[in-house]
Structure 1
Amino acid sequence: MNDKIDILAIGAHPDDVELGCGGTLAKLISEGKTVAIADLTQGELGTRGTAETRAEEAKKAAEILGVKERVNLKMKDGFLTNSEEYQMRIVEKIRKYRPEIVFANAIDDRHPDHAKAAKLISDACFLSGLRKIETKSGGEAQEPWCPKLVFHYIQWKHIEPDFVIDISSFLDKKIEACLAYKTQFYDPKSTEPVTPIATKDFLESLTYRAQDLGRLSGVTYAEGFTTEKLIAMKNFDGIVW
């Protein structure tokens, strides 16, 4: 079976990927790119919902976006560490999927797991390319694989992006995927405790933050990313004028 994909999007918790780069993933998939999502934890410490409901919601969100596969690495929510054990779990997935690009959590954010995941994922991408690190999948040795690029999406905090992706035609798809997490976001009928992401303002921020990045870049809606290395362009094709 050929597991090769174009993009691997990784998030500390189920819903991180949808919130941070859901519009970009929907756009890439519409262009024929193959995408997989890896959630590091089950989000089991979340105030609302359970690990079981989060898994059901993550599956629904993946179906909405049209990703090829979604996996959960079952690391410990709230206690992510940049350990050899956790690095190797990610290395195995990188070598399985052989992505050209990896999307990772924000480099700095309100939830401590997000910045920890950003560094953990980045280090795993580097280690995945080292030939002397041996891993197996299904009993067979895996070949080294180093993604060409690692990009970090933006989450709660306002981080200056290095570039943005025009998601003007895909904001609705992003929001639909986010709202698949019914236990997590704003619901006026819910009797569960209110959390920072379960407010009407946060739900509305998905639109107005994308709109603001669009305003700054000359499109209607956009998602922002930071990059770990200087990006060289062959030409100006693809830039919105």
Structure 2
Amino acid sequence: MKLDILVFAVHPDDAELGCSGTILKHIALGKKVGIVDFTRGELGTRGSAEIRDEEAADSAKILGLHARENLKFRDGFFKNDEEHQLEIVKMVRKYQPEIILTNALHDRHPDHGRAGDLTNDAIFLSGLIKIETKLDGVVQAAWRPRLVLQYIQDRYIQPDIIVDITEFMDQKEKAIRAFKTQFDSPDKHAPQTYISSPEFLESVFGRAREFGKNIGAKYGEGFTSRKLLGVENLFNLK
């Protein structure tokens, strides 16, 4: 299946926290969108890999995704090396997206920045015809998207572009809260973590309000770009 937008996320719930409003908006516009998670989040203090699998599936239904896969890289220990790059190349070539959204290049969590660099390096390699990959025994065609953006995660980073997600903020919150073990655990004895506190989600929503304010909207999601962005018509800018 060819997708319009492919989102790479090192942990299940990264995409929900960072860009699920943008996902919802573009699906509402008739675009096909999918997520590829790198790990199962097995090093997370709360829950388990199996539960995170279920939560990711629940969130995928809320978002209306056209595809969601997990590459089962080792949480915390994956590397930006040939083995991991080629697995991502296979996904880029499989779905042939026009746009890719991926992890922040710099963040509090070391996995995020490493995943952002890994994805960007793999995307470049995916466009090289002399790198051969096979999926289900079939040689894949080279593919490189026309646009790659990084969604902003925990650290405040000045965005290069902001998407108005006002209409989709309620659904974004539902998609985030689908990860119950991380944010709304019914187990009152579960250990508290950095992201399980109410203040963490308040900061996510507060940042969405701040980004939205900058473009005259109620809520927004910010993205960075490694290249300069162009527009054909100034009237398309907000």
Same fold (TM > 0.5) = yes
Counterpart residue number, 1:39: 37
**Residues 1:84 and 2:82 are matched in the alignment:** yes
**In 2, Cα distance between the equivalents of 1:191 and 1:126?**
46
Deviation at 1:188, TM superposition (A): 7.5
Alpha-carbon distance in structure 1 between the residues aligned to 2:138 and 2:43: 35
Q: Deviations over 1:158-195 (max 9, x none)?
A: 00000100001011111100000000014576311111
Which has the larger displacement, 228-237 or 43-52?
228-237
Distance 1:82 1:45 in 2: 19
Question: Where in structure 1 are there 5+ consecutive unaligned residues?
Answer: none
Residue 181 of structure 1: which of 179, 182, 190 is its match?
Answer: 179
TM-score, normalised with respect to structure 2: 0.98
2-side partners of 1:83 and 1:187: how far apart? 36
Matches within 5 A, 1:61-210: 61-187=59-185, 190-210=188-208
Give the stretch that moved more between structures: 230-239 or 115-124: 230-239
Contact between 1:4 and 1:98, CA under 8 Å: does it hold in 2?
Answer: yes
Report the TM-score when normalising by structure 1: 0.96
Number of corresponding residues: 238
CA distance in 1, matches of 2:51, 2:187: 18
Kept in 2, the 8 Å contact 1:175–1:206? The answer is no
Q: Report the equivalent of 1:4.
A: 2
The answer as to whether partners of 1:60 and 1:180 remain within 8 angstroms in 2 is yes
Letter of the 1:38 partner, please give it.
V
Aligned-partner SS, 2:21: helix
- Alpha-carbon distance, 1:208 to partner: 1.2
Percent of aligned positions that are identical: 52
Amino acid at match of 2:145: P
1:236: which partner in 2?
A: 234
Distance 2:138 2:235 in 1: 41
Q: Give CA deviations for 1:97-144 in whole Å, capped at 9, x if unaligned.
A: 000011000111111000000000000100000000000111111000
* 2:18 partner amino acid: G
